[in-house]
Amino acid sequence: MISIIDYGAGNLKSVARAFGYLGIRCRITAKPREILSSDKVVFPGVGAAASAMQTITSRGLDSVIKEAVYLKKPFLGICLGAQIVLDSSEEDRGVPCLGILPGAALRFRNSHLKVPHMGWNSIAVLRPHPVLAGIDRKDQFYFVHSYYAACAISSDVIAVTAYGIEFSSIIGRDNVIAVQFHIEKSGPAGLRLLKNFSEWNGVVEPC
């Protein structure tokens, strides 16, 4: 059973629909017991870091998420979920985040390119990963974000994307993987990743 963490914001239903379409069982929940007893955990974040972290901490979900990660449950962060797993975000004048992966979410500071980065873009995979099985160089994903993950440890960067700069579009370590794009709105390629995640045991073979 996959638990999609309900922290009261945004598009949880979209991710649930995508799993449903794939015939994969999931539930939307904020209950610690349900989250910690599920096989896999998904955090689909939408919105701003500060209000997300505030809701997460007030509901005690910060310790639940960290516990789920500690228990080696495959964990998928989506969009804001690829930022709040870091130590902090620059958003809202600085927000402490979950600190699961070292690094910070930074704002696109750009010359000529529009912010937020909104639209389809491709990824360059830096290291093989079970969740990325079957992904083609031609595949594109749908992004909407003004902040991006800057990992402190380079081996935590799984894929990068070009938007003025080269930023980390997929990050992760061990049983944690987080994607900056809307995996549930990226057509068949996104669905493929979700399916791979649903079959992943949380282990990444060293290469």
Partner 1 sequence: MTTKGIKFEGNIDIGDPVEMAVKYYEEGADELVFYDITASHEKRNIVIDVVNAVAENIFIPFSVGGGLRTLKDMEAVLQAGAEKISVNTAAVLNPELIRQGAGAFGTQCIVLGMDVKKVPARSDIASHYEVVINGGRTYTGIDALEWAKRAEDMGAGEICLNSIDADGTTLGYELALTSMISERVSIPVIASGGAGKPEHLRDVFVEAGADAALIASMVHYGEYRLAEIKKYLAAEGISVRCV
**Residues making contact with partner 1 (CB under 8 A):** 13-14, 17-18, 20-21, 46-47, 113-116, 118-122, 138, 140, 142, 144, 163, 182, 184-188, 190-191
| Tokens encoding 196 | 């791979």
User: Residue 166 catalytic?
Assistant: no
Kindly name the residue from 145, 166, 182, 205 that is annotated as catalytic.
Answer: 182
Kindly name the residue from 79, 91, 117, 129 that is annotated as catalytic.
Answer: 79
101 and 156 Cβ atoms separated by less than 8 Å: yes
Nearer to partner 1, 22 or 133 (CB): 22
Side chain identity, residue 138: K
Nearer to partner 1, 94 or 119 (CB): 119
The rounded distance, in Å, linking the Cα atoms of 69 and 74 is: 7
- Residue 35 in 3-state DSSP? helix
User: Residue 112 catalytic?
Assistant: no
87 and 150 Cβ atoms separated by less than 8 Å: no
Task: Give me the least distance between CB of 114 and partner 1, in Å please.
Answer: 5
The rounded distance, in Å, linking the Cα atoms of 45 and 51 is: 11
Task: Give me the least distance between CB of 106 and partner 1, in Å please.
Answer: 18
User: Residue 199 catalytic?
Assistant: no
Residue 157 β-bridge partners: 171
Nearer to partner 1, 156 or 184 (CB): 184
Radius of gyration for the chain, computed over Cα atoms and rounded to the nearest angstrom:
15
Nearer to partner 1, 79 or 151 (CB): 79
Q: How far apart are the first and last CA of the chain?
A: 29
Task: Give me the least distance between CB of 164 and partner 1, in Å please.
Answer: 10
Kindly name the residue from 129, 145, 184, 207 that is annotated as catalytic.
Answer: 184
Task: Give me the least distance between CB of 152 and partner 1, in Å please.
Answer: 28
Q: How many helices (H) and strands (E) does the chain have?
A: 5, 14
Catalytic residue ranges: 79, 182, 184
